[in-house]
Amino acid sequence: MAGGGTAGAFAAVASARGGAKTALIESKGYAGGIAVEGGCGLHSFYNLWNAFNVEKRMVVRGIPEEFIQRLYQAGGCSGHNETIMRPEYDNDTLCVDVEKYKYVILDMLREAGVHVLLDTMAADVLKEGNRVTGVVTESHQGSEAVLGKFFIDATGYGDISARAGACFTEPNDYPVVNSMGVGGIDIDKYYAFLRDNGGLIEYARGTRSGKNNQIIRVDGRWSQISGSLGDAAKALGMSSVTTTIHDDYLMFIKVNFKTAVSPSNRDALADAEFELRRRQQASLELLRKTILGAESAFIARTAPSITIRRARCIECDYDISLDEVVNGVHFPDEVFSYGFHDSAPRIQIKGGKTYGMPYRTMLVKGLDNLFAIGMMITSDHEAHMATRNTVSCMAMGQAAGTAAALCVKQGLGRLRDLPYTKLYDALKLGNVWFDAEVPYK
Ligand SMILES: Cc1cc2nc3c(=O)[nH]c(=O)nc-3n(C[C@H](O)[C@H](O)[C@H](O)COP(=O)(O)OP(=O)(O)OC[C@H]3O[C@@H](n4cnc5c(N)ncnc54)[C@H](O)[C@@H]3O)c2cc1C
């Protein structure tokens, strides 16, 4: 397993629980990835029940939901709460404390028996024919090779797949981001400012600092408040959406910047790191000036490095299309169901339905034993706006980890040889929800 982020951590837990000897190689000193560095709410465990007045269904369950329950018990998330005002976007609001998230996910990984290699870079691969036989790592201990039967690329950047010779594109179709946590600013005041000035488009209430029914998420449009505020925020790439589970603290304020070339380019990345830190300082000034009572606000946390919405897009056996996403298509080899699209209501999954994610979407084309999971699959930008979201990535993680462990147990040589019925049964046992009848049952 390379990459212990949003998808990879769940893959490693699933693989170890499935009985496979599992190593997780993560370049940072913690697991969690963009879910703890860049995101806001976790989109989404549910279908769009309110938008279409249909049955409310929790469509992602399994290890991701088990994790959320543990995080909630640890006081690290808001739990599931209904979103108010914009039912056509996401009906479930789930906000996290990023530090608790990092701790609880590591605890789960260790408990499952995963050998967690932190501060360790997956730098290269060893290969024989169509098989990856090992991942070369770099750490303070030196260069080593982690050998294995099956591998999962969850690096976000697709580093392992690219090194292994997979085909890929680099669409460079999103801005990169450094999200900051801002202290000394009250979300109630933030909410009131947007509401009273006609800029509020969405909010949610939930548990904050131990009290129920508090504002935990706010989104709006700076440009609806005034042209000059809209222009200033736009020039800085500063989003208005924010979440928190603490008084006097905003967990995420996103600051965006569009690089000229793909963020896999080293020098483009370095320039973006600098530019985003400049923009964060200016965004803080704008917030201090704009929000009443935020005059002493300060940056309490930034991501250790920029977060991306994608770099490489790895070619896999199947590439799910926008048409399949929005029409809620289900597949004979699907591994989970999902019901959120980040461009809703402009692009929406019709009728509060869900689509299925086929097993084939995670099989790296031309390689026998490598999965690609997380943001690095799905070439169509608009389809990717659904598949890349956190909860979808977590569910992919459980699917790939479960499948890899089954392949080990069955003594298989190729991920493609795993009988779907075995995978389906194992996923069901892992409490994965299938929102549609799977043909073989
Ligand atoms: C700024 C931003 C805001 C977002 N907001 C939301 C939101 O509000 N809600 C939502 O649902 N989704 C949101 N998304 C989308 C979602 O967060 C991501 O698509 C998803 O988290 C990606 O998960 P991943 O596992 O593919 O990548 P990551 O979570 O980035 O995981 C990759 C991991 O691999 C590690 N790594 C990378 N290269 C190597 C290497 N060579 N060796 C070892 N380790 C390596 C990284 O350190 C990281 O931990 C947002 C994305 C961004 C960028």
Q: How far apart are CA 145 and CA 346, in angstroms?
A: 47
| Residue of 324, 331, 335, 336 lying closest to 380 (CA atoms) | 324
In the predicted model, what is the mean pLDDT of residues 89-102?
96
Pocket of ligand 1 (CB under 6 A): 2-8, 25-28, 33-35, 38-43, 121-122, 154-157, 159, 177, 179, 254, 307-309, 374-375, 388-390, 393
Please state, for a pLDDT cut of 70, what percent of the chain lies above it.
99
Residue 33 sits in the same domain as residue 165 = yes
**pLDDT band for position 424 (50/70/90)?**
very high
In the predicted model, what is the mean pLDDT of residues 417-437?
96
Q: How far is CA 67 from CA 28, 75, 196, 432, in A?
A: 21, 12, 37, 13
The pLDDT assigned to 40 comes to 83
In the predicted model, what is the mean pLDDT of residues 401-427?
98
Residue 213 sits in the same domain as residue 282 = yes
The pLDDT assigned to 440 comes to 61
Would strands 211-220 and 242-243 be described as parallel, antiparallel, or unpaired? antiparallel
Residue 318 sits in the same domain as residue 364 = yes
The CA radius of gyration of the chain, in Å to the nearest whole number, is 21
**pLDDT band for position 25 (50/70/90)?**
very high
| Residue of 242, 140, 236, 127 lying closest to 182 (CA atoms) | 242
Cβ-count burial of 132 within 10 angstroms (0-12 exposed, 13-18 middle, 19+ buried)?
A: buried
Residue 259 CB-half CA count within 13 A: 27
Atom of ligand 1 nearest to the CA of 122: 42
Going from the Cα of 27 to the center of ligand 1, the distance in angstroms, rounded, reads: 13
**Residue 302, beta-bridge partner list:** 180
Residue 295 sits in the same domain as residue 352 = no
Q: Residues 338, 382: contact at Cβ < 8 Å?
A: no
Going from the Cα of 77 to the center of ligand 1, the distance in angstroms, rounded, reads: 19
The pLDDT assigned to 39 comes to 79
Q: pLDDT of 197-222, one tens digit each? A: 999 999 999 999 999 999 999 999 99
The pLDDT assigned to 441 comes to 54
Residue 218 sits in the same domain as residue 147 = no
In the predicted model, what is the mean pLDDT of residues 130-147?
98
Q: Which domain holds residue 160?
A: 8-45+58-79+98-172+311-429
Residue 166 sits in the same domain as residue 180 = no
Does residue 38 lie in a domain region?
yes
In the predicted model, what is the mean pLDDT of residues 346-357?
96
Residue 229 sits in the same domain as residue 298 = yes
Residue 141 sits in the same domain as residue 14 = yes
* pLDDT of 439 over the 70 cut: no
Atom of ligand 1 nearest to the CA of 44: 11
In the predicted model, what is the mean pLDDT of residues 294-314?
97
**pLDDT band for position 166 (50/70/90)?**
very high
Residue ending a domain, among 302, 325, 350, is 302
Going from the Cα of 102 to the center of ligand 1, the distance in angstroms, rounded, reads: 13
Atom of ligand 1 nearest to the CA of 174: 53
Q: pTM of whole model > 0.75? A: yes
In the predicted model, what is the mean pLDDT of residues 282-286?
98
In the predicted model, what is the mean pLDDT of residues 368-397?
98
In the predicted model, what is the mean pLDDT of residues 146-162?
98
Going from the Cα of 319 to the center of ligand 1, the distance in angstroms, rounded, reads: 20
Residue 28 sits in the same domain as residue 154 = yes
Task: Give the distance from CA 350 to its chain's centroid.
Answer: 23
Burial letters 292-326, b for 16+ CB under 10 A, else e: eebeebebebbbeebbbbbbbbbbbebbbebebbb
Element (H, E) at 29: none
Residue 163 sits in the same domain as residue 186 = no
Residue 18 sits in the same domain as residue 167 = yes
Going from the Cα of 5 to the center of ligand 1, the distance in angstroms, rounded, reads: 6
Q: How far apart are CA 84 and CA 89, in angstroms?
A: 10
Residue ending a domain, among 302, 325, 347, is 302
Residue 293 CB-half CA count within 13 A: 13
Residue 140 sits in the same domain as residue 36 = yes
How high does pLDDT run on average in the chain? 97
**Residue 46, beta-bridge partner list:** 58
Going from the Cα of 376 to the center of ligand 1, the distance in angstroms, rounded, reads: 10
The pLDDT assigned to 333 comes to 97
- Number of domains composing the chain: 2
